[in-house]
Structure 1
Amino acid sequence: MCWDRKLLEHAQGRTALLTGSARGIGAETASLLNKHGCNVIITDLPSTVSHAQELILSMRFPERAIFVPASVTDWEQLLNSFKQGIRAFGRIDIVVANAGIMESRAVLEVETDVSGEPIASREGFSVLDVNLKGTLNTLQLGFHFLRQNSLSEHDSHCGSIVLITSTSGYFGFSGNAAYVASKHGILGLFRASQPLAEKTRIRVNAIAPSFTPTRITAGFGDRFEKAGVASNTTEQAAEAIAFAALDPSCSGQVLSNWLGQDLLDALSGFRAIVENMGGYPLPPAASQT
């Protein structure tokens, strides 16, 4: 999609809180916003502190960035991130619910213990906790704090929230069932949020990128390139998030890099590749600390 790059000027002087933003798409988005004068609150797990510090040092305005360690599944930790951000910069204008993980094993394939008894999938529930519960926590706190803002001069809203779903929110494979379910759930949250968004004058949008090379998808991105199937870059995903956050005319929308037949062709190509691989290649188990 084509974006009006002049919209990035609206980042100047604003403050954005981004979850899961020490690496990947979140980090790219934080850097882009900061480059255009936005204060950024990088919220991620304590184990990502070195990544966050490196990210801040690489920014155009490092003095306009802070790192607050928190798990999105922990209400008190996430609440502290919002409070720390407001303490540092006065208010929060933009919230990006980016934190997400994927299971490292097929959760529908039930494992058994030595006696043959089925074992509950802890990892599957962790994916649902981070991706769905974490997004709900972020959305709730976003509404709570952003509705306290005065109306913005340039778009007559109190703030903007961007949820990160995926094309997996529209289709999926059984190998990553927990991830697919969580992304479908985020679309449900997005739709259910619109009445309150309208009432509180907060713009809530969602981004649904297709395959994007990140640490979650590391190890099989070359198969997409060889098959000629288009993929996103983290830069493209970051731009989509930034423009959804800053465009005053964008409200209640799910943005994708492809539309219509292009999207159908891309998803068909994606499905063919995954089927040829015998299922979705799952990443290593994610750290929860």
Structure 2
Amino acid sequence: MSAAPMGFYLWLLLLRTPHGPRRSTFQFSPLMPKITSGEVSYITGAAAGIGKAVTTMLVNQGGRVVIADVNGDAASKFASELNEKAGSVVAIAVKSDTTNWEEQLAGFQLAISTFKRIDYVFANAGIAEHPWLPPFDPEAATSRPMVKPDLATAEINLIGQMYTAALAFQTFERQEIGPSGFRGKLILTASVFGYFPSRAMPLYASSKAGIINFMRSVAGYYADKNITVNAISPNLVDTTIAPDVLFIPFRKYKLLSDIQLVLDQFEKLLGDSTLNGQALSISQEHVWVHPPETHMLEENLPACDLISVEIFKLFGDKTP
């Protein structure tokens, strides 16, 4: 499996966007990429929060969208609003629990039967941390049984996104190169907690870290197949992912990330953008490409590369 050359990561300090100077780690044209009118996007978790904002942005650029959400009523209402405003069918809704393979498969099948292809897949659905174990309390522990951990956060944020990714890759594989020059593009919603640990959110942090390394790994595999894979990693954004009370101190200390700045990073991956294997990150006014791990890379690379070659042979994959 070939990795992107290290020169691909251009560590420039400033990026000017429509919102003014932003700290960044790569150079980007002041002209943001756009989708080609009529291109189709499949977005999970699209009835609220970041997913809803991305969906609105894509429709405003002339795109057609599949609004996939576990809240089927909210998805249908949102699709109706978009269609009414456009005066034509630009959106369809599917009820989809991302942890349910059959529901996700049905959603993709409906998208293909309706729009004939999917140009972009946004694996966005996710939830906040659920307590996976009871709070640490040695005195109470002796009086309660061992508790099975609640792994819902990891199941939705990691396994659910991998189901979405699996359907995206198999869909892209079955269709020709589209108007923007790609078979398709997969964009995963991760988090800065994919890089930084959190005492209170071990499952959220581990699932987002999994998404980041999954993204980097599959981006290398699909790099020569007219498919790009990237991740958007914001810090806390004011959405409905958590109870509003959680956001109060963050508003007070101005520690929330601007949703428009998050959308700007999604937009950089659209159209004819060739960015691949990147973790575009946002925290308050800061924007950067988070670098891959390089500590002891040179010493480990021969074994890491060889394991890919040997596993490809074992799996019957013809990738060199």
Q: What TM-score, normalized to structure 1?
A: 0.80
Please say which structure displays the higher CA radius of gyration.
2
Gaps of 5+ in 1: 265-289
The percentage of aligned residue pairs carrying the same residue is 26
In the alignment, what sits opposite 1:53? Answer: 76
Q: How far did residue 167 of structure 1 move?
A: 0.4
Matched, 1:73 2:99: yes
CA contact (8 A) 1:152 1:158 kept: yes
Aligned with 1:96 (options 115, 122, 140): 122
CA contact (8 A) 1:29 1:239 kept: no
Q: Distance in 1 between matches of 2:223 and 2:194?
A: 24
Q: Identify if the C-alpha distance between structure 1 residues 70 and 163 changes in structure 2 by more than 3 Å, giving closer, same or farther.
A: same
- Summarize deviations over 1:24-65 as a string: whole Å, max 9, x none: 1001111110111111001111xx223223322332436110
Q: Distance in 2 between matches of 1:20 and 1:39?
A: 16
- Summarize deviations over 1:215-246 as a string: whole Å, max 9, x none: 124223232232243x2233332332233233
SS of residue paired to 1:31: helix
Matched, 1:37 2:84: no
SS of residue paired to 1:199: coil
Q: Distance in 2 between matches of 1:113 and 1:84?
A: 49
| Aligned-residue CA RMSD (Å) | 2.6
Matched, 1:181 2:209: no
In the alignment, what sits opposite 1:118? Answer: 146
Gaps of 5+ in 2: 1-14, 19-29, 289-320
Deviating above 6 A after TM superposition, structure 1's stretches of 4 or more consecutive aligned residues are 110-114
CA contact (8 A) 1:19 1:42 kept: yes
In the alignment, what sits opposite 2:231? Answer: 206
Matched residue pairs, number?
Answer: 256
Kindly provide the amino acid, as one letter, of the partner of residue 50 in structure 1.
Answer: D
Larger helix percent: 1
Q: How far did residue 253 of structure 1 move?
A: 1.1
Kindly provide the amino acid, as one letter, of the partner of residue 103 in structure 1.
Answer: E
Aligned with 1:241 (options 228, 252, 266): 266
SS of residue paired to 1:33: helix
Worse-superposed segment, 240-249 or 186-195: 240-249
Q: Distance in 2 between matches of 1:23 and 1:76?
A: 23
Kindly provide the amino acid, as one letter, of the partner of residue 67 in structure 1.
Answer: A
